[in-house]
């Protein structure tokens, strides 16, 4: 299920590939002059990990629009429904909801092959007055932890495995029917099945080829462990590039499914009796172009650096869960026997543990965090993992003994049972407050509190079915 190419040199460490995407500004300008590209998407990432931004006429973008554009700062103070959530310190009615600068990162210019005549670029969010990065913007949060690792002599290398469900009906049809009687493209568990996945190729082939044409190094796709469930794997890279590729991949999956008259969901748990969708995070540190996690003399091939890093992940497992499982629904994925972990312990090649050591005794040795769902914001999740792991290195934390067997039945450290527990752990985390800043943690704790308050307020279909007649 995991990316298989960890022995290769990561994209940004290759001397012949100085940029993570597949367009330079000069090449874009030439394609615009030739009439090949007429639209450029300028994309920021919101708190939910979604792409937000503008569609520029390409001629305007290359003639000056590439310097910067602007957008309302409420984009980092809304919920999934784009509700203007009260109570945020950074953006509110009293301050008038002003603008942030959207500053294109031209190193991320890439083609968007599934949309005619289109290119895209990721943007950083800057304060309109100071032009400093907005500290609670997802890209800035991850960049800060990447810089912290770099100052310690390490390059943070990561990959995400992304799961989702593919349905026959289009998005509008399902929404209009209030998501009743959704029909997966494959009607049965098709984990690794070739014939079953042939039924999905209209979307999955277009997705693989589209991403590859956008400069995203796709490894493979496969049927996952539930009816209609898919997985897409992208080759690992540096943490920021990985988060960018993850976010673009989610958006591309939705767009390509839409163009085929179908729909997808990245909900962590879309149905009670179906397995959840995860986003496992593979992570390692490199130093001077070599894996810092490897020690060929260790029984598992794990270096002292790796052991300290993993010890940090475990020591702060509850504190970072809010960034791995950000919604009420996220916690319904943690179900015994459905391959989502319930215990925050480590083991080698054991899918019942929250943290799995993969590639033991090889140069590819790494940590796989299995806690996160497909609904996570990759920038926040990767940053939280890095913050916890680097704290373990800085404090030289001792790694606890490996667990083995069925972790579902073990009486050991549990993953928080719900968002309420995770939000408390986030708010009380001295480590995350030191690593990310009080304002950042306060901002995302407020988001969690809003999510909880909305769930408490809204009447659910389950409540109607259970109580309408019998209450």
Question: What local confidence, expressed as pLDDT, does residue 16 receive?
Answer: 37
In angstroms, the CA 329 to CA 379 distance is: 20
pTM above 0.85, yes or no: yes
The CA angle 139-150-308, to the nearest 5 degrees, is 105
Can you list the pairs that 430-437 forms with residues at least 24 positions away whose Cβ atoms lie under 8 Å? 431/316, 431/319, 431/387, 431/388, 431/391, 432/316, 432/319, 432/320, 432/384, 432/387, 435/144, 435/145, 435/148, 435/387, 435/390, 435/391, 436/141, 436/144, 436/145, 436/383, 436/387, 437/135
Beta pairing class for 355-358 and 346-348: parallel
- CA 147 vs CA 140, 150, 208, 238, 285: distances in Å: 10, 5, 31, 12, 13
Question: What local confidence, expressed as pLDDT, does residue 445 receive?
Answer: 98
Q: Does domain 21-134 have CATH number 3.10.20.70?
A: yes
235-274: b (≥16 Cβ within 10 Å) or e: bbbbbbbbbbbbbbbbbbbbbbbeeeebbbbbbbbbbeeb
Question: What local confidence, expressed as pLDDT, does residue 1 receive?
Answer: 41
Class of residue 175 by CB neighbours under 10 A (exposed 0-12, middle 13-18, buried 19+): exposed
Question: What local confidence, expressed as pLDDT, does residue 256 receive?
Answer: 97
Question: Taking the mean position of all CA atoms in its chain, how far away is CA 414?
Answer: 22
Question: What local confidence, expressed as pLDDT, does residue 223 receive?
Answer: 87
Question: What local confidence, expressed as pLDDT, does residue 17 receive?
Answer: 41
In angstroms, the CA 286 to CA 12 distance is: 12
Question: What local confidence, expressed as pLDDT, does residue 2 receive?
Answer: 39
Low-confidence stretches of the chain (pLDDT beneath 50): 1-19
In angstroms, the CA 104 to CA 302 distance is: 39
Residue 230: which region, alpha, beta or left (left: phi > 0; alpha: psi -120 to 50)? beta
3-state DSSP assignment of residue 355: strand
Beta pairing class for 237-238 and 118-127: unpaired
Domain coordinates in residue numbering, the chain: 21-134
Question: What local confidence, expressed as pLDDT, does residue 20 receive?
Answer: 65
pLDDT tens readout for residues 41-74: 999 999 999 999 999 999 999 999 999 999 999 9
């Amino acid at each position: 299920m995991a990316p298989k190419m960890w022995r290769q040199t990561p994209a940004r460490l290759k001397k012949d590939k100085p940029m993570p995407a597949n367009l330079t500004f000069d090449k874009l300008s030439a394609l615009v002059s030739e009439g090949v590209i007429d639209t450029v998407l300028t994309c920021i990432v919101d708190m939910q990990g979604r792409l937000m931004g503008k569609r520029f006429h390409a001629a305007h973008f290359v003639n000056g629009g590439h310097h910067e554009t602007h957008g309302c700062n409420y984009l980092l103070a809304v919920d999934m429904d784009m509700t203007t959530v009260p109570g945020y310190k950074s953006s509110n009615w009293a301050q008038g909801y002003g603008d942030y600068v959207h500053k294109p990162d031209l190193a991320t210019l890439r083609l968007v092959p599934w949309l005619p005549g289109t290119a895209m670029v990721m943007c950083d969010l800057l304060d309109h007055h100071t032009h400093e990065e907005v500290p609670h913007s997802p890209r800035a949060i991850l960049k800060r932890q990447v810089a912290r690792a770099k100052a310690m002599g390490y390059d943070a290398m990561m990959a995400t495995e992304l799961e989702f469900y593919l349905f026959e009906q289009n998005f509008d049809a399902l929404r209009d029917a209030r998501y009743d009687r959704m029909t997966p493209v494959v009607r049965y568990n098709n984990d690794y099945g070739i014939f079953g996945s042939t039924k999905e190729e209209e979307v999955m082939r277009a997705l693989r080829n589209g991403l590859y044409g956008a400069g995203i190094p796709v490894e493979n796709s496969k049927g996952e462990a539930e009816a209609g469930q898919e997985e897409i794997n992208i080759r690992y890279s540096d943490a920021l590039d990985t988060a960018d590729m993850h976010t673009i991949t989610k958006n591309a999956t939705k767009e390509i499914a839409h163009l085929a008259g179908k729909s997808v969901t990245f909900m962590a748990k879309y149905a009670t009796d179906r397995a959840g969708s995860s986003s496992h995070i593979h992570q390692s540190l490199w130093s001077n172009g070599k894996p810092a996690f490897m020690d060929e003399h260790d029984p598992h091939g794990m270096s002292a650096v790796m052991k300290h890093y993993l010890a940090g992940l475990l020591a702060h497992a509850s504190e970072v869960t809010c960034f791995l499982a950000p919604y009420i629904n996220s916690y319904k994925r943690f179900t015994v026997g459905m391959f989502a972990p319930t215990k925050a312990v480590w083991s080698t090649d054991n899918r019942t543990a929250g943290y799995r050591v993969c590639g033991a005794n090889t140069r590819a040795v790494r940590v796989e965090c299995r806690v996160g769902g497909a609904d996570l914001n990759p920038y926040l999740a990767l940053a939280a993992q890095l913050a916890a792991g680097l704290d373990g290195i800085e404090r030289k934390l001792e790694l606890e003994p490996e667990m083995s067997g069925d972790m579902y039945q073990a009486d050991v450290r549990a993953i928080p049972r719900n968002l309420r527990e995770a939000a408390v752990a986030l708010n009380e985390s001295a480590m995350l407050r030191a690593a990310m800043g009080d304002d950042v943690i306060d901002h995302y704790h407020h988001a969690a509190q809003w999510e909880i308050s909305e769930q408490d307020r809204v009447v659910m279909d389950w409540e109607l079915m259970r109580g309408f007649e019998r209450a």
